[in-house]
Amino acid sequence: MAYCAVCGREGEAGHGAHEACAGMLELDPPRHCTRCGRRLDVQVFPTGYRATCRRCDGVHPASRNATRTG
């Protein structure tokens, strides 16, 4: 089962009731885990973000440019 990365409900962003959610993902980092639907711990950096799920115990696959320098 997949969950929306924006609202956390069942279904993927961009499909069905989640069409508005897909547009939000273009500018903002995901807020919910796509595997379990739980809210993510998101760190935003000038070069990207890092999203971590406490339940799934790992970095969210959508993390972008999360390497922090200096």
DSSP string, the chain: --B-TTT-SBS-TTSGGGHHHHHHHTTS---B-TTT-PBPEEEEETTEEEEEETTTTEE-TT-BS-----
Q: Is the pLDDT of residue 66 over 70?
A: no
Average of pLDDT values for 7-26? 76
- How much of the chain exceeds pLDDT 90, in percent? 3
Q: Using 50, 70 and 90 to split pLDDT, how confident is the model at 63?
A: low
Q: Is the pLDDT of residue 11 over 80?
A: no
Residues 6+ apart with CB under 8 A from 4: 10, 11, 12, 13, 18, 21, 32, 34
What is the tens place of the pLDDT at every residue in 18-50?
778 878 888 888 899 888 889 999 998 888 888
